[in-house]
Amino acid sequence: MKNLKGKTAIVTGSGRKKGIGEAIAKLLAKRGCNVVISDIGTATGKHFSKTHIGTTSEMKSIVTEIKKAKGNAIAIACDVRKSKQIEAMIAKTVKKFGSLDIMVNNAGIGYIMEPFTEFKEKSWDAVIDVNLKGAFLCSQHAARQMTKQGKGGSIINIASQAAKSGFPFAAAYTASKHGMIGLTRSNAVELGKDGIRVNAVCPNHITTGLGHWQNKFFSDKLGLDYETYLQGIVDRNPLGRTGLVEDIAKAVAFLASDEASYITGEAMNVSGGEEYH
Protein backbone atom coordinates (compact mmCIF):
# COMPACT_ATOMS: atom_id res chain seq x y z
CA MET A 1 0.00 0.00 0.00
CA LYS A 2 2.74 2.38 -1.06
CA ASN A 3 0.10 4.88 -2.17
CA LEU A 4 -0.49 5.85 1.46
CA LYS A 5 2.96 7.42 1.55
CA GLY A 6 2.83 11.16 2.11
CA LYS A 7 -0.92 11.21 2.77
CA THR A 8 -2.19 12.90 5.92
CA ALA A 9 -4.63 11.25 8.30
CA ILE A 10 -6.50 12.39 11.38
CA VAL A 11 -7.59 9.60 13.72
CA THR A 12 -10.04 10.78 16.38
CA GLY A 13 -10.00 9.02 19.74
CA SER A 14 -6.48 7.74 19.05
CA GLY A 15 -4.92 8.94 22.29
CA ARG A 16 -5.88 6.06 24.54
CA LYS A 17 -3.29 3.33 25.05
CA LYS A 18 -4.27 -0.13 23.74
CA GLY A 19 -7.20 1.43 21.87
CA ILE A 20 -8.30 0.81 18.29
CA GLY A 21 -7.41 4.41 17.37
CA GLU A 22 -3.82 4.04 18.56
CA ALA A 23 -3.40 0.91 16.40
CA ILE A 24 -4.92 2.61 13.35
CA ALA A 25 -2.67 5.66 13.75
CA LYS A 26 0.44 3.53 14.21
CA LEU A 27 -0.26 1.38 11.15
CA LEU A 28 -1.04 4.40 8.96
CA ALA A 29 2.22 6.01 10.13
CA LYS A 30 4.11 2.78 9.37
CA ARG A 31 2.65 2.81 5.85
CA GLY A 32 3.97 6.35 5.35
CA CYS A 33 1.12 8.64 6.37
CA ASN A 34 1.53 11.78 8.44
CA VAL A 35 -0.81 11.15 11.34
CA VAL A 36 -2.62 13.34 13.82
CA ILE A 37 -3.22 11.73 17.20
CA SER A 38 -6.47 13.40 18.14
CA ASP A 39 -8.30 12.89 21.41
CA ILE A 40 -10.18 14.79 24.07
CA GLY A 41 -7.12 14.90 26.37
CA THR A 42 -8.94 15.76 29.57
CA ALA A 43 -12.32 14.76 30.92
CA THR A 44 -14.89 17.48 30.32
CA GLY A 45 -18.63 17.21 30.80
CA LYS A 46 -20.63 14.99 33.10
CA HIS A 47 -20.28 11.77 31.18
CA PHE A 48 -16.54 11.69 30.97
CA SER A 49 -15.19 9.12 33.31
CA LYS A 50 -11.55 9.94 34.08
CA THR A 51 -10.58 6.37 33.20
CA HIS A 52 -12.23 6.23 29.78
CA ILE A 53 -10.34 8.92 27.94
CA GLY A 54 -7.15 9.35 26.00
CA THR A 55 -5.18 11.77 28.17
CA THR A 56 -2.83 14.48 26.96
CA SER A 57 0.17 12.55 28.27
CA GLU A 58 -0.95 9.33 26.53
CA MET A 59 -1.37 11.28 23.30
CA LYS A 60 2.17 12.65 23.61
CA SER A 61 3.58 9.24 24.39
CA ILE A 62 1.92 7.71 21.27
CA VAL A 63 3.44 10.50 19.15
CA THR A 64 6.87 9.76 20.67
CA GLU A 65 6.51 6.05 19.88
CA ILE A 66 5.54 6.78 16.26
CA LYS A 67 8.47 9.14 15.86
CA LYS A 68 10.84 6.55 17.37
CA ALA A 69 9.65 4.15 14.68
CA LYS A 70 10.58 6.85 12.10
CA GLY A 71 6.98 7.91 11.50
CA ASN A 72 5.48 11.38 11.29
CA ALA A 73 2.95 12.38 13.93
CA ILE A 74 1.61 15.26 15.96
CA ALA A 75 -0.96 15.37 18.75
CA ILE A 76 -3.93 17.72 18.73
CA ALA A 77 -6.48 17.76 21.52
CA CYS A 78 -10.00 17.99 20.12
CA ASP A 79 -13.46 17.28 21.46
CA VAL A 80 -15.40 15.81 18.54
CA ARG A 81 -18.61 17.38 19.87
CA LYS A 82 -17.23 20.87 19.19
CA SER A 83 -17.38 22.16 15.66
CA LYS A 84 -14.90 25.00 16.24
CA GLN A 85 -12.30 22.67 17.75
CA ILE A 86 -12.58 20.33 14.74
CA GLU A 87 -12.20 23.23 12.33
CA ALA A 88 -9.11 24.40 14.21
CA MET A 89 -7.65 20.90 14.26
CA ILE A 90 -8.05 20.53 10.49
CA ALA A 91 -6.53 23.98 9.90
CA LYS A 92 -3.54 23.07 12.09
CA THR A 93 -3.14 19.72 10.33
CA VAL A 94 -3.16 21.33 6.89
CA LYS A 95 -0.71 24.01 8.02
CA LYS A 96 1.68 21.36 9.33
CA PHE A 97 1.36 18.65 6.64
CA GLY A 98 -0.14 20.46 3.63
CA SER A 99 -3.40 18.51 3.26
CA LEU A 100 -5.99 16.25 4.85
CA ASP A 101 -6.53 13.04 2.91
CA ILE A 102 -7.89 10.52 5.42
CA MET A 103 -10.33 11.15 8.26
CA VAL A 104 -10.93 8.26 10.66
CA ASN A 105 -13.90 8.81 12.98
CA ASN A 106 -12.97 6.46 15.81
CA ALA A 107 -13.81 8.50 18.95
CA GLY A 108 -16.62 6.88 20.84
CA ILE A 109 -18.10 6.16 24.22
CA GLY A 110 -19.55 2.76 25.02
CA TYR A 111 -19.58 2.82 28.79
CA ILE A 112 -23.04 4.26 29.33
CA MET A 113 -25.35 1.24 29.54
CA GLU A 114 -28.74 1.36 31.23
CA PRO A 115 -31.91 -0.76 31.12
CA PHE A 116 -34.10 0.70 28.38
CA THR A 117 -37.08 1.57 30.58
CA GLU A 118 -34.72 3.54 32.85
CA PHE A 119 -32.49 4.97 30.12
CA LYS A 120 -31.92 8.61 31.01
CA GLU A 121 -32.36 11.32 28.41
CA LYS A 122 -29.01 12.87 29.34
CA SER A 123 -27.32 9.46 28.88
CA TRP A 124 -28.89 9.15 25.45
CA ASP A 125 -27.68 12.64 24.50
CA ALA A 126 -24.18 11.97 25.80
CA VAL A 127 -23.70 8.85 23.67
CA ILE A 128 -25.32 10.25 20.52
CA ASP A 129 -23.32 13.48 20.88
CA VAL A 130 -19.95 11.76 20.79
CA ASN A 131 -20.60 8.73 18.59
CA LEU A 132 -22.93 10.14 15.96
CA LYS A 133 -22.83 13.93 16.10
CA GLY A 134 -19.04 13.74 16.50
CA ALA A 135 -18.74 11.64 13.34
CA PHE A 136 -21.12 14.00 11.52
CA LEU A 137 -19.15 17.13 12.47
CA CYS A 138 -15.74 15.60 11.74
CA SER A 139 -16.96 14.22 8.39
CA GLN A 140 -18.44 17.58 7.44
CA HIS A 141 -15.28 19.56 8.19
CA ALA A 142 -13.07 16.90 6.57
CA ALA A 143 -15.26 16.82 3.43
CA ARG A 144 -15.11 20.63 3.15
CA GLN A 145 -11.30 20.50 3.29
CA MET A 146 -11.03 17.55 0.88
CA THR A 147 -13.39 19.20 -1.60
CA LYS A 148 -11.32 22.39 -1.42
CA GLN A 149 -8.14 20.41 -2.12
CA GLY A 150 -9.82 18.84 -5.16
CA LYS A 151 -8.06 15.47 -5.06
CA GLY A 152 -10.58 13.34 -3.23
CA GLY A 153 -10.06 11.59 0.06
CA SER A 154 -11.21 8.82 2.34
CA ILE A 155 -13.48 9.04 5.36
CA ILE A 156 -13.72 5.95 7.55
CA ASN A 157 -16.22 5.58 10.36
CA ILE A 158 -15.46 3.08 13.11
CA ALA A 159 -18.92 1.69 13.78
CA SER A 160 -19.45 -1.66 15.53
CA GLN A 161 -21.19 -5.01 15.45
CA ALA A 162 -23.78 -2.90 17.29
CA ALA A 163 -24.28 -1.11 13.95
CA LYS A 164 -25.77 -4.31 12.54
CA SER A 165 -27.26 -6.16 15.55
CA GLY A 166 -29.00 -5.17 18.77
CA PHE A 167 -27.43 -5.31 22.23
CA PRO A 168 -29.28 -5.07 25.56
CA PHE A 169 -28.76 -2.03 27.82
CA ALA A 170 -27.19 -0.29 24.85
CA ALA A 171 -30.08 1.54 23.15
CA ALA A 172 -28.08 4.73 22.63
CA TYR A 173 -24.84 2.99 21.65
CA THR A 174 -26.62 0.65 19.22
CA ALA A 175 -28.68 3.49 17.72
CA SER A 176 -25.58 5.68 17.37
CA LYS A 177 -23.64 2.94 15.59
CA HIS A 178 -26.56 2.07 13.27
CA GLY A 179 -26.74 5.82 12.61
CA MET A 180 -23.08 5.87 11.63
CA ILE A 181 -23.85 3.45 8.82
CA GLY A 182 -26.64 5.73 7.60
CA LEU A 183 -24.21 8.64 7.69
CA THR A 184 -21.64 6.55 5.80
CA ARG A 185 -24.09 5.63 3.03
CA SER A 186 -25.56 9.10 2.63
CA ASN A 187 -22.13 10.73 2.50
CA ALA A 188 -20.77 8.10 0.11
CA VAL A 189 -23.58 8.82 -2.35
CA GLU A 190 -23.23 12.60 -2.03
CA LEU A 191 -19.45 12.95 -1.95
CA GLY A 192 -18.55 10.39 -4.62
CA LYS A 193 -18.56 13.07 -7.32
CA ASP A 194 -15.71 14.78 -5.44
CA GLY A 195 -13.68 11.57 -5.28
CA ILE A 196 -14.29 11.26 -1.56
CA ARG A 197 -14.93 7.66 -0.52
CA VAL A 198 -16.82 7.03 2.71
CA ASN A 199 -16.81 3.64 4.41
CA ALA A 200 -17.40 2.12 7.83
CA VAL A 201 -15.63 -0.66 9.68
CA CYS A 202 -17.60 -2.78 12.15
CA PRO A 203 -15.50 -4.47 14.83
CA ASN A 204 -16.87 -6.90 17.41
CA HIS A 205 -15.15 -7.86 20.67
CA ILE A 206 -11.73 -6.36 21.23
CA THR A 207 -10.34 -6.13 24.71
CA THR A 208 -9.32 -2.48 24.68
CA GLY A 209 -9.91 -0.32 27.75
CA LEU A 210 -13.52 0.06 26.60
CA GLY A 211 -13.77 -3.60 25.57
CA HIS A 212 -12.60 -4.70 29.02
CA TRP A 213 -15.27 -2.51 30.66
CA GLN A 214 -17.96 -3.99 28.38
CA ASN A 215 -16.81 -7.58 29.05
CA LYS A 216 -17.03 -6.90 32.78
CA PHE A 217 -20.47 -5.25 32.44
CA PHE A 218 -22.00 -8.10 30.42
CA SER A 219 -20.35 -10.92 32.41
CA ASP A 220 -21.76 -9.38 35.62
CA LYS A 221 -25.21 -9.04 34.04
CA LEU A 222 -25.13 -12.69 32.96
CA GLY A 223 -23.77 -13.84 36.32
CA LEU A 224 -20.69 -15.35 34.67
CA ASP A 225 -17.10 -14.90 35.69
CA TYR A 226 -15.08 -12.78 33.28
CA GLU A 227 -13.07 -15.67 31.79
CA THR A 228 -16.14 -17.86 31.20
CA TYR A 229 -17.88 -14.94 29.48
CA LEU A 230 -14.87 -14.36 27.20
CA GLN A 231 -14.58 -18.07 26.42
CA GLY A 232 -18.25 -18.00 25.33
CA ILE A 233 -17.42 -15.26 22.84
CA VAL A 234 -14.48 -17.27 21.50
CA ASP A 235 -16.58 -20.47 21.24
CA ARG A 236 -19.28 -18.86 19.10
CA ASN A 237 -16.83 -17.08 16.80
CA PRO A 238 -16.24 -18.95 13.51
CA LEU A 239 -12.54 -18.05 13.61
CA GLY A 240 -12.29 -19.01 17.28
CA ARG A 241 -10.91 -15.83 18.79
CA THR A 242 -11.74 -12.29 19.79
CA GLY A 243 -10.61 -9.37 17.65
CA LEU A 244 -7.30 -7.54 17.85
CA VAL A 245 -6.82 -3.81 17.42
CA GLU A 246 -4.49 -4.65 14.52
CA ASP A 247 -7.35 -6.42 12.68
CA ILE A 248 -9.21 -3.12 12.55
CA ALA A 249 -6.11 -1.11 11.68
CA LYS A 250 -5.41 -3.34 8.65
CA ALA A 251 -8.99 -2.94 7.38
CA VAL A 252 -8.74 0.84 7.77
CA ALA A 253 -5.36 1.00 5.99
CA PHE A 254 -6.86 -0.99 3.10
CA LEU A 255 -9.98 1.19 2.85
CA ALA A 256 -7.86 4.36 3.04
CA SER A 257 -5.59 3.21 0.23
CA ASP A 258 -6.04 3.25 -3.55
CA GLU A 259 -6.39 -0.55 -3.36
CA ALA A 260 -9.96 0.29 -2.31
CA SER A 261 -10.49 2.97 -4.98
CA TYR A 262 -13.81 1.42 -6.15
CA ILE A 263 -15.16 0.85 -2.64
CA THR A 264 -17.48 3.37 -1.06
CA GLY A 265 -20.64 3.23 1.06
CA GLU A 266 -19.55 -0.09 2.57
CA ALA A 267 -19.88 -1.15 6.20
CA MET A 268 -17.22 -3.84 6.48
CA ASN A 269 -17.52 -6.41 9.26
CA VAL A 270 -14.21 -7.30 10.88
CA SER A 271 -15.59 -9.86 13.28
CA GLY A 272 -14.13 -13.28 12.55
CA GLY A 273 -17.38 -14.19 10.79
CA GLU A 274 -19.60 -13.53 13.81
CA GLU A 275 -21.45 -10.77 11.97
CA TYR A 276 -22.08 -11.18 8.26
CA HIS A 277 -24.88 -8.97 7.08
Ligand X SMILES: NC(=O)c1ccc[n+]([C@@H]2O[C@H](COP(=O)([O-])OP(=O)(O)OC[C@H]3O[C@@H](n4cnc5c(N)ncnc54)[C@H](O)[C@@H]3O)[C@@H](O)[C@H]2O)c1
Q: Please report whether residue 198 would count as binding ligand X according to CB under 6 A.
A: no
- Residues with Cβ within 8 Å of 98's Cβ and at least 6 positions away in sequence, in order, are 8
Cα(248)–Cα(211) distance, integer angstroms: 14
Across the beta sheet with 34-39, what order do the strands follow?
72-77, 34-39, 8-12, 102-105, 153-158, 196-203, 267-270
Selected from 6, 209, 232, 265, the binder of ligand X by CB under 6 A is 209
**Which among 9-17, 87-95, 136-144, 191-199 is the span making contact with ligand X, rule CB under 6 A?**
9-17
Burial grade of 227 (CB within 10 A; 0-12, 13-18, 19 or more): exposed
Selecting among 173, 229, 262, 276, the annotated active-site residue is 173
Q: With CB under 6 A as the contact rule, which of the stretches 29-37, 144-152, 185-193, 206-214 interacts with ligand X?
A: 206-214
Q: Are 177 and 110 in contact (CB under 8 A)?
A: no
x/- letters, 233..262, toward ligand X (CB under 6 A): ------------------------------
226 classed as catalytic:
no
Name the residue nearer to ligand X (CB basis): 169 or 195: 169
The residue among 3 and 231 lying less far from ligand X, judged by its C-beta, is 231
DSSP 8-class letter at 10: E
Q: Which of residues 83-122 bind ligand X (CB under 6 A)?
A: 106-110
Q: Does 80 bind ligand X (CB under 6 A)?
A: yes
8 A C-beta contact, residue 10 and residue 142: yes
Nearest to 24 by CA among 197, 254, 220: 254
Q: Which is nearer to ligand X, 5 or 216 (CB)?
A: 216
**How far is 25 from 249, CA to CA, in rounded Å?**
8
How many whole angstroms from its chain centre is CA 237? 22
Could you tell me which stretch among 25-33, 115-123, 204-212, 253-261 binds ligand X (CB under 6 A)? 204-212
Cβ neighbourhood burial of 9 (10 Å; 0-12, 13-18, 19+)? buried
53 binding ligand X? (CB under 6 A): yes
Q: Which is nearer to ligand X, 98 or 273 (CB)?
A: 273
35 binds ligand X (CB under 6 A): no
Question: Rounded distance, CA 228 to CA 205, Å?
Answer: 15
CB of 187 to ligand X, least distance (A): 17
The count of chain residues that interact with ligand X, using the rule CB under 6 A, is 31
Binding site for ligand X (CB under 6 A): 12-13, 15-16, 19-21, 39-40, 52-54, 79-81, 106-110, 130, 134, 158, 160, 203, 205-206, 208-211
